[in-house]
Chain A
Amino acid sequence: MMRLARSSIMKVYAVSAMALMLASASCKREERGFRVSPPASRAIETITLSELQPGSRLPNVPVKNGYEENAYALSEGKRLFDAFNCSGCHFHGGGGIGPPLMDDEWIYGSEPANIFATILEGRPNGMPSFRGKIADYQVWQLAAYVRSMSGLVSSLAAPGRSDHMQATPPEQSKKPEQPKESSIPKSAERP
C-alpha cells in the first residue's frame, strides 16, 4: 500500500517536472523581447574573414544565436528580409542576382556568426555592407531566419506560414540541409 502510494507520488512528480520543462521550453519559443541587449554583438571580432594570418591559425569560436529558438525573432527576421529588400537579390531564398539561401552551399560559412559578418561587412561581387544601418539584434534575427531557410533551426520555432504568396513550402517544413563549403561560382565572378 505504502509502496503503491509512493510510486504514484513519484509519477505525479515526474509528470509535473515534464510539464514544467515543456512549459519553460515553450516560454523561450514565445518570448518577445522588444528592448533587447543583442546576443554577442561583439561576435564580429571573433570572426576571421581571411585564411591568411601570421602565426598559427586562430580557431573560429562558434557563437550561439539564441534567436534560432524563438518564433517571434524568426518571424521578425522573415519580415525584415523583405523590408530591407534582401529578396531583391536572393529572391525569397531561391537566389537570382545573389546566391540561393535555401540550399546546402555556403560560400562564406553557415555558422550564425559567419552570416552575421556577411550582413554586417558585405561580401565581394555585390553583397552590400549593412554596418551601422541595421541594429545588431535585427542582424541576428536576419541571420537566424537565413539559417531557417535551409532547415538549420528548430522546426518548432521556424515560420510556419508566409504573409505573401510563396512557391515553396514554409521554412518549418524544410528538411535540414547538410551545409557544405562552396566557392564563388565562375558565373558570378567579376570579369
Chain B
Amino acid sequence: MSTRSRHFGPYLLRAWAAAMVSLLTGCTGVQSVLNPAGPQAGRISRIWWLMFTVCLVIQVLIIVFVSVPALRRERDAASGQNGATRPNLDPEPNAERRMTHVVLGAVAATVVILFVFLVDSFLIGRSISSVPSRNPLTIKVIGHQWWWEVNYDNPVAARSFTTANEIHIPVGQPVVLKLTSQDVIHSFWAPNLHGKKDLVPGHESTTWLQADKAGIFRGQCAEFCGHQHAHMAFAVVAEPPEQFYAWYEGQIRPAVQPASEAQQRGRRVFLSSACVMCHTIQGTPAGATVGPNLTHVGSRNTIAAGTLANNRGNLGGWVTDSQEIKPGNRMPPNLLSPEDLQALLDYLESLK
C-alpha cells in the first residue's frame, strides 16, 4: 500500500498541478471572459466577479451552518450527553423564535442580493448594448457552415472588400458589427471583447465591439450549427489605427499578379479546376461567393476558420483532402497532380 502510494503520489501531484495550470491559463488566454480587453468585456467580467464572490461567500456560510450542528451532534453522541440515545422532540419556544428570525433574515438578504444582481445586470446590459451614435466603422459578418464571411462595406464601392475568419479593428474605436447568416443560426462570441450575439438567417442583428489594447483575440461560434460547429472559430485582430488603415488599404487592392512561372501555373490551375466554382480572387475571373474570399489568403494567420495554421503543409493537406481534417465541410477533395498542387500552393502563398 505504502509503496503504491509512493509510486502514484508524484503522478497525482503532477496531474493536479497540470490541471491547475491549465485552469489558470484558461483565465488569462486569448479566449476568456476573465481577461477583458474592452469596455464591454470589462463590465461583464466585473459583474461576473461580483456574482462569483457573493455566491462563494454564501456557499461557505451554508457549508458552515450545515456542518456545525452536524459536528456538534456527533461530538455530543461521542460524549453521551444531551439525549444522544433518544432525541429530545419537545418544543423549545425560545429556540424556535430565534430560528424563525434567522430564516426570515436569510430570506430578506437573499431578496436584497438578487435585487442588487438584477439592477446591476440590467444597467450593464443597457450600457454594453447601446450602439454608439457617432459614425463608426461598420463591418458585416455573415455566418456560413462553417466559417465567417467578413464584409467591410464602404459607401464608395471600390473601397469595400470581403475577407474571411479574421476581423481587423482599430484599437480604441467602437466598431459596429452587422450580423446575419447564410444557412442556420450561428452565434458570434469573442469573450475578451463582448458577450454573444446570434446570427439569424434572413435577419440582421447589430452589436458593437471596442478593443482598448492591441492583440489577437479568438472568437468561436457559440450556437450549435452542425457537424463542424467546434471548428468554426475566428480572430479579432485589434491594431493601432495607423496599422489598421494600412491593412485596410492593402485589402482593397486586387490580388497580386503571379511573379514566377510556378505562380502563373498555379493561377491557371486555380482557374481551371474546382476552386473557381466556389472562391473569389479579386482581379481574376474567379468570382464565386460560396466559399471564403481568397484574394489575400496569404496574409491570414489561419485557414479553415481557425482550424489550422496558415502554412504550406496545412494548405496542401486542406486542398487535397479537407474532409479528413474537417469532415462534412463544403470543400470537396481535389485530386491534383503533384506539380499542379505545388504550383497552386505557390500561387496561394503569394496572395499576401
Q: Which residues of A contact B (CB under 8 A)?
A: 32, 34-35, 83-84, 132-135, 137-138, 163
Contact = CB atoms under 8 A, between A and B. Distances in A.
A135 B333 contact: yes
Contacts of B205: none
A34 B323 CA distance: 6
Interface in B37-79: none
A25 to B, nearest CB: 23
Specify which of B183, B290, B324 lies most central, judged by the most chain A CB atoms within 10 Å of its CB: B290
B323 A35 contact: yes
A84 B274 CA distance: 11
Interface string B319-330: 001011001100
B327 A34 contact: yes
Contact of B273 (A34, A35, A133): A133
A134 B276 CA distance: 10
A34 B183 CA distance: 19
B290 A132 contact: no
Interface in B255-297: 272-274, 276-278, 290
Contacts of B333: 35, 135
Given A34-B323, A83-B290, A163-B183, A133 B274 contact: yes
Nearest to A132: B273
B327 A133 contact: no
Nearest to B272: A132
B254 interface: no
Contacts of B277: 83-84, 133-134
B278 A34 contact: no
B332 interface: yes
A135 B332 contact: yes
Interface string B331-343: 0111000000000
A137 B332 contact: yes
Nearest to A35: B323
Contact of B274 (A32, A34, A35, A132): A132
Contacts of A32: 328
A2 B313 CA distance: 70
Q: Contact size class for B? A: 10 to 19
Given A32-B328, A34-B328, A83-B290, A135 B183 contact: no
A163 B273 CA distance: 28
Nearest to A33: B323
Question: Residue among A32, A134, A135 with the most chain B CB within 10 A?
Answer: A135
Given A134-B277, A135-B274, A35 B321 contact: yes
A133 B276 contact: yes
Contacts of B323: 34-35
Nearest to B276: A133
Given A132-B274, A133-B277, A135-B332, 5 more contacts: A32-B328, A83-B290, A133-B273, A134-B277, A163-B183
Contacts of A132: 272-274
Nearest to B321: A35
A35 B324 contact: yes
30 contacts: A32-B328, A34-B323, A34-B327, A34-B328, A35-B321, A35-B323, A35-B324, A35-B327, A35-B333, A83-B277, A83-B278, A83-B290, A84-B277, A84-B290, A132-B272, A132-B273, A132-B274, A133-B273, A133-B274, A133-B276, A133-B277, A134-B274, A134-B277, A135-B274, A135-B332, A135-B333, A135-B334, A138-B332, A163-B183, A163-B201
Nearest to A137: B332
Nearest to A135: B332
B198 to A, nearest CB: 17
B149 to A, nearest CB: 14
Which A-B residue pairs are the 6 nearest by beta carbons?
A: A135-B332, A34-B327, A34-B323, A83-B290, A35-B323, A34-B328
Contacts of B276: 133
A74 B276 CA distance: 23
A67 to B, nearest CB: 14
A138 B334 CA distance: 12
A142 to B, nearest CB: 12
Nearest to A165: B202
Contacts of A137: 332
Nearest to B184: A163
A115 to B, nearest CB: 18
A32 B226 CA distance: 13
Contacts of A35: 321, 323-324, 327, 333
Interface in B151-210: 183, 201
B322 to A, nearest CB: 10
Interface in B290-312: 290
A35 B321 CA distance: 8
Most A-side CB within 10 Å, residue of B276, B321, B324, B332: B332
